Structure formats: C-alpha cells, structure tokens
Amino acid sequence: MRKRLAPTRRRFLGLAGSAATISVIPIVSLHPAEATPETMAAAIRTVVGGAVVQTGKVKLDIPPLVENGNTVPMTVSVTSPMSADDYVKSIHVFNEKNPQPNMGNFYLGPKAGRAQISTRVRLADSQKIIAIARLSDGSFWSVSADVVVTLAACTEEVM
Amino acid sequence: MKLTGTINVVALLVAAAMAIPPLAATEIPPNERRSGYTFMAPDTQAIQDDDTANPGMLWVLDGEALWKRKAGAAGKACADCHNDASATMKGVAARYPAFDKVLGRPVNLEQRVNLCRARHQEASPLAYESRDLLALTAFVAEQSRGMAIAPDATSELAPFVAKGRDFFMRRQGQLNLGCTNCHDDNWDKHLAGSAVTQALPTGYPIYRLEWQSVGSLQRRLRNCITGMRAQSYDYGAPGLVELELYLMSRAQGMPIETPAVRP
Amino acid sequence: MASALINVPKKAKRGDIIEIKTLMSHIMETGYRHTASGQLVPRDIITSFACRFNGAEIFRADLFPAIAANPFVSFFTVATESGKFDFEWIGDNGFTETASATIAVE
C-alpha cells in the first residue's frame, strides 16, 4: 500500500519525468484515511472487552527499520506450555497509523504445539504495532514494537 | 570520469578479443562485487531463501504450467520443442541478452519468448510485464539458478555492450546523474533509507516488495531512469536491451538467483 | 495456474511440533488506493484462512488489508496421526481457493 507522505509531491515528481507509461490505470493515493491511537484503542477494546491487558509473554519480531513498507515480515510468538488446560486461544495484531487499526487475528488451540505465527504486513508509516494474546484462562497479554518505515528511494510514478 | 575516444576504441578491441571486458575507469573490481541480496536485511533474505515462502515461486509455478500449454495457430507448447525445461533451459538465462542473427542485435529473454511464439508457435506476442510473460521468463530463468552469469563472448555483442556501458556512464536528465555515480561510486551508502546497490541483475525477474509482484529488469530500469529524472526507454527498445546486456556483463560470473526478492 | 504454495513436512514422529507454511497468490487490494482520476479502487482481499486436519479445524486467521499481497501465513501444529491437511482461503468477490497436503506420522 502506498505511503501517505507528501502524495501531491510524489504525483508532481511522477508526472515530471515520465516517458511512455505501461498501459495500466495509474494509481496514486490521495490523503487516505488513517487510524489513530484512539481507533487502535477502540479496536483493542472490541477484542479484550473490559479486561486488563498485561505486558509480557508475547514476543513481536518485526524489523525496527523496514526494507519496504509494502511487505514487512512479522512473527508473533507467545510463551505458553500449549497444554490442554493452558494454551493460547488467539493472537491479535494492531497498528496505529494504517487506515485501519486491525491487521490480523490468528486462532490457535491446544493442538498447536507452539504459539507462533508468521506473516507479512503492510505498514503505511513509522508507527507502533501491538500484538495481544488471549490465553485459555481468559487473560490477555501484550507487547508493542516501534517500527520505522521510510519511503523507497526510487519509486514508480505509475503501477 | 569519461573515457576519451582513443581509450574507448582500445577498450572495444580488447573486449572483442577477451571474454571478460576490461574495467571502465570506475567499474567495481570483480572481487568487490556483491549481489543485491547481500544488501538486504536478514528478514528479507529469508523470504528469498525459502522456496515455499518466496512469492516469486508462484510465478515460476505458473510458468511451469504455461510451458506445457499449447498456444498459437501452430497449436504447439514450449514443451513440444524444448521438452523438459530443467534440462534444455539450463544455462539459457545465464547468457541472455543474446545475439539474434535475424534481427542483427541482442534480444532479452522476454523478446526471445515472443520471437519463439511468433516464429514457431504462430502465436501473438505476450505483453511486456503481463503475468504470462513474467511467469514464463521466471520459469526459464529459474532453470539457471545457481549457474554463473556468462554472456555470449561473441564479438557481435561487443558494440552493444559498449553502448550499454556508455549509457551507464553518461550523466543525463534533470539531475545530471549517471548510473555510475550511485552504483559504482556510492554503492556502500544509502539513498534516503534504501541501500544503494551495485546494479548487478542476478535474480531477474524479481519479486520486488515495492511492486508486491514479480517484474522484469526492464521495469526496474525504466523505474531507475525515471528516478534519475531522465528520459526513459519504452519496453523492448534496443537501447534498453543494450543496457540490460551491459548490466549482465557487469555481473559476469555471479550466480543467477531467480526468482530473487528485492526491496 | 498455481495459486498456492504449501510447505508441510511429508513425515513426522508422533508428538513432533511441525511448522506449516502457506503462500497464496492474491493482490490484496486494500480499498484505500485511488486512480489518477480520483476513483477509489475497491477492496479485494482474502478475509479468512483456515486449516483443517482430518476434518477438524486446527488453525484459522482473519486477514485485513494490512496483510501484504500474496499472503504468507505460517503456524505450528502437533503431529498426532497420519492424515490430510485441508487449507481454505475465502475473500471478497466470492474468492475461494483450497489446497491440501498429506503427512505420514509414525
């Protein structure tokens, strides 16, 4: 997804130097919507309700400086015996500056063996990512990470 | 730093005589060359390393299916002439762009596929950057994975390599930049947050994170040239193929990584 | 045309914790991009992914536009018996894809 930094500047620079373009619809983003710390908090509340979210047990592996905001590898793991009566039920990942606060929900169970998921996400801007785990005993645990996202140096003006 | 006319002619003659062209004044010495892979963060390298997690492999698999699909008025599939690609296509991508005798100039892999389609399958050309063409070229190039890049040593290619080198060295565009200014002189530095690499196309067509798709070297070059604020070439233009040819000769000896993942 | 790449170990010992990696071809159009003329490019994403083993669900995920194109999802499961994994992706505009893989557990 396109970063929202100075979209009009990008369009100007894009139109300034182009030669023959590929015959696809040029796509630019014009001031897209943005989540805020408040909408992220609201999205988190939808998942945890009124429960207290404690920090700990969860580990978020995400590069502190991303190679490219369009595809950022991310791994969330939770310390848990993953036994029949003590396991991770689900993992929820949120962000504060993409257009939407939710990124993904992952539902595990005692047969998972290891509470760890990996995926690749899009990050629109430098921001905080929060991962929350729901355990079988109803408790919630979280971790956050700050990620720096820079615009790629030479981007295309049309897709 | 520009080569004078005399030195240019001598360089051409030596290039024609030897398999390995001599260094232009600012080119990276062979033992200092590094693939774009080495400039990436470990997380991104991991995406390339695992065939089952490398999105570029989705295109390779598509290409494998297309290889067997009949096409054109002649109703032939690539496999009908070329049989098992893992045998017949081994080493092909490593020596492209290659000289086409009929056209009298080098053609890249994409053009070779379309020439085959026209000449042998009586099929219409696949559009540049179309999913099918990218899939086929990714599939063919993957058959050379791990093999050393070895552009044809024929003397016929030498003048085209020289033209590609000229372009690479020439200052142009609104910023008066030559490719060499970044990719030869400043490859150990960063431009904004991105590492400046050495312009060694070892893994094309690549899965570029910025595109979230596989794309060809020509797409990347058009992007680079526009990024320099210079007039870019159209897809398939001879000048662009010459630049591809020069860049592959720059990477001579380095292993093919297709399908590579790059930021 | 290949749509999915699955990595499941072909065999495992009972009790082994195995990693399953999945890759699905999909543009994951966010619904936030616009054309140059200002029109919104509508959302077109995979919204859910599920994995069943011998019919019982062992993993499920809700995906949002923040998941990158060609979504990669990996997770773990305990090898208990031989059998078949069934994977299903469901998304906007009636998108549905399936894949499967077998495992021999001794």
The token pair that represents B47 in the structure block:
């995406």
Domain tally, chain B = 1
Q: Compare CB distances from B41 to A16, A17, A67 and report the shortest one's residue.
A: A67
- On the question of pLDDT at A2 being above 80, the answer is no
Q: CB A120 to CB C68 under 8 A?
A: yes
Domain CATH number, residue B246: 1.10.760.10
C18 in contact with chain B, both atoms CB, cutoff 8 A: no
DSSP letters of A59-96? EEE--SB-S-TTSEEEEEEE----BTTB-EEEEEEEES
With tokens 């696809």, the residue in question is A24
For residue A36, what pLDDT band results from cuts at 50, 70 and 90?
Answer: confident
Instruction: Look at residue C34 in the predicted model and tell me its pLDDT.
Output: 86
Tell me the residue range of the domain where B45 lies.
33-263
Domains of chain A: 33-147 (2.60.40.2470)
Dist CA B91 CA B84 (whole Å): 13
- On the question of pLDDT at A7 being above 70, the answer is no
Residue B124 lies in a domain: yes
Q: CB C35 to CB A26 under 8 A?
A: yes
Q: Which residues of B touch A153 (CB under 8 A)?
A: 191-194, 227
Residue B25 lies in a domain: no
pLDDT digits (tens, 9 = 90+) for B32-56: 999 999 999 999 999 999 999 999 9
| Mean pLDDT of the region C86-93 | 97
Q: CB C66 to CB A104 under 8 A?
A: yes
Instruction: Look at residue B30 in the predicted model and tell me its pLDDT.
Output: 87
Whether the CB-CB separation of A43 and A131 falls below 8 Å is answered with no
Best of A25, A67, A155 to substitute, by most chain B Cβ atoms within 10 angstroms, is A67
Give me the torsion for CA of C20, C26, C27, C30, rounded to 10°. Answer: -70
The token pair that represents B133 in the structure block:
């063409």
The token pair that represents A130 in the structure block:
């929060």
| Mean pLDDT of the region A45-58 | 93
Of residues B220, B183, B194, the one with CA closest to residue A67: B194
Nearest C-alpha in A relative to C46:
A104
The full set of domain ranges for chain C reads: 4-105
Of residues B103, A33, B144, B213, the one with CA closest to residue C34: A33
| Mean pLDDT of the region C55-65 | 96
| Mean pLDDT of the region C8-19 | 96
% pLDDT > 90, chain B: 80
- Region for residue A28 given its phi and psi (left: phi exceeds 0; alpha: psi -120 to 50; beta: otherwise): beta
- On the question of pLDDT at C72 being above 80, the answer is yes
The token pair that represents A5 in the structure block:
């930094």
- On the question of pLDDT at A127 being above 80, the answer is yes
Best of B47, B51, B61, B133 to substitute, by most chain C Cβ atoms within 10 angstroms, is B61
Dist CA B110 CA B117 (whole Å): 11
Dist CA A54 CA A141 (whole Å): 5
Number of neighbours of residue A9 by Cβ within 10 angstroms:
9
Instruction: Look at residue A29 in the predicted model and tell me its pLDDT.
Output: 52
Of residues B239, B199, B203, B240, the one with CA closest to residue B219: B240
Active site residue ranges of B: 224
Q: Compare CB distances from A71 to B209, B224, B226 and report the shortest one's residue.
A: B209
pLDDT digits (tens, 9 = 90+) for B206-263: 999 999 999 999 999 999 999 889 999 999 999 999 999 999 999 999 999 999 999 9
pLDDT digits (tens, 9 = 90+) for B97-143: 999 999 999 999 999 999 999 999 999 999 999 999 999 999 999 99
% pLDDT > 90, chain C: 90
Q: Compare CB distances from C23 to B55, B64, B212 and report the shortest one's residue.
A: B55
Q: Which residues of B211-240 are buried (b: 16+ CB within 10 A; e: fewer)?
A: bbbbbbbbbbbbbbbbbbbbebbebeeeeb
ipTM (interface predicted TM): 0.94
**pTM of the shown model:** 0.86
Output the average pLDDT for chain B. 89
DSSP letter at B252 equals T
For residue B61, what pLDDT band results from cuts at 50, 70 and 90?
Answer: very high
Question: Which CA distances in Å does A5 have to A26, A32, B107, B164, C2?
Answer: 18, 10, 39, 35, 36
Give me the torsion for CA of B44, B46, B49, B51, rounded to 10°. Answer: -100
Question: Which CA distances in Å does A105 have to A44, A101, B169?
Answer: 11, 12, 50
Helix, strand, coil shares of chain B as percentages rounded to 5? 45, 10, 45
Residue B10 lies in a domain: no
In chain C, what is the greatest distance between 2 CA atoms, to the nearest angstrom?
A: 60
Subunits close to C (at least 3 CB pairs below 8 A): A, B
Q: Which residues pair with A41 in a beta bridge?
A: none
Best of A119, A128, A149 to substitute, by most chain C Cβ atoms within 10 angstroms, is A119
Instruction: Look at residue A137 in the predicted model and tell me its pLDDT.
Output: 94
| Mean pLDDT of the region B177-188 | 93
Question: Lowest mean pLDDT: which of A29-38, B111-120, C58-67?
Answer: A29-38
CA distance C49 to chain B (A): 16
Number of neighbours of residue B153 by Cβ within 10 angstroms:
16
pLDDT: is A94 or A23 the higher one? A94
Output the average pLDDT for chain C. 94
Cis bond upstream, residue C65 (ω within 30): no
Local structure of B84: helix, strand or coil: coil
Instruction: Look at residue B107 in the predicted model and tell me its pLDDT.
Output: 96
Instruction: Look at residue A34 in the predicted model and tell me its pLDDT.
Output: 66
Instruction: Look at residue B37 in the predicted model and tell me its pLDDT.
Output: 96
- Which amino acid is located at C85 in the chain? F
- On the question of pLDDT at A18 being above 60, the answer is no
For residue A33, what pLDDT band results from cuts at 50, 70 and 90?
Answer: low
Instruction: Look at residue B1 in the predicted model and tell me its pLDDT.
Output: 43
CA distance C30 to chain B (A): 12
Question: Lowest mean pLDDT: which of B129-138, B161-170, B224-233, C95-104?
Answer: B224-233
Residue B57 lies in a domain: yes
Question: Which CA distances in Å does A137 have to A56, A84, B78, B170, C8?
Answer: 15, 11, 59, 67, 31
Please enumerate residues of B whose Cβ is less than 8 A from a Cβ of C.
50-55, 57-58, 61-62, 64-65, 212-213
For residue B6, what pLDDT band results from cuts at 50, 70 and 90?
Answer: very low
CA distance C106 to chain A (A): 17
Dist CA C64 CA C47 (whole Å): 6
In CATH, the number for domain C4-105 is 2.60.40.10
- On the question of pLDDT at B7 being above 60, the answer is no
